[in-house]
Amino acid sequence: MDLEGVRMLTREKLTDAQWSAVRATPQLVMLAVSAAGGTSFEAFLERKAGMRGISDAINSTHPLLGAIADGKQIVEAEDEIRAEYHSLPEDERTLEKLQEKALGSAHLALAAIRAQGGPEDLLQYGDFLLATARRVARVAREGDVLGIDGERISRGERDFIARLENVVKSSGV
C-alpha cells in the first residue's frame, strides 16, 4: 500500500511471463533508443545512463519499480535479452527488429499491469518507460564534431519515443 491506502501492484501478483515482460521492457527501451543513432561511444554513454535510471528505481515508492531495479533482476533481464538476441539469425539483428521487440514488450507489460493492477500502477510504469527513453536520448549529442553542432535527440530517437508514447497512451495511461 502507498501512503493513501491504495494497493499497489507487486511482482508476486504477476505470472512469470508477465513479470518477464515487465522486467525486461525498460532495458529493451534503453537499447532501442541507444541504437537509434550516434557512434558506439555515444551508445555506451546512453546505455550507461539508461542503466543508472533503471537502477535508481530502487528508491521508488512503487514496489514494482523497486523490484525491477533489484540487482539480481537487472542481471536476469539482461541475460534473457542477450540469450534471445543471440538466438536470432544475423539478418534479424537490426534496429527495426530491436525497436519492434521493445514496443511489443511494452505492450505486453502494460497489458499485464492493466490486468493485474490499478490505474496508478499503469501510470507509474508508463511514466518510468518514457522517462527511461528520454533519459537515454538526452545523454549524447548526435551528429556533432567535438561537441559543436549536432542535436540533443536524434530523429531516430524522437521517432522511437513517439511510437513508445503511443503504446503507453493506448494502454489507458
Residue spans of the domains in the chain: they are: 11-170
pTM: 0.89
| Residue 6 DSSP code | -
Mean pLDDT taken over the chain: 90
How far apart CA 93 and CA 145 sit, in angstroms, is 29
- pLDDT per position as a tens digit, 82-112: 999 999 999 999 999 999 999 999 999 999 9
The string of DSSP codes covering 52-68 is: HHHHHGGG-SSHHHHHH
Burial class (CB within 10 angstroms; exposed 0-12, middle 13-18, buried 19+) of 30 = buried
Higher pLDDT, 102 or 140: 102
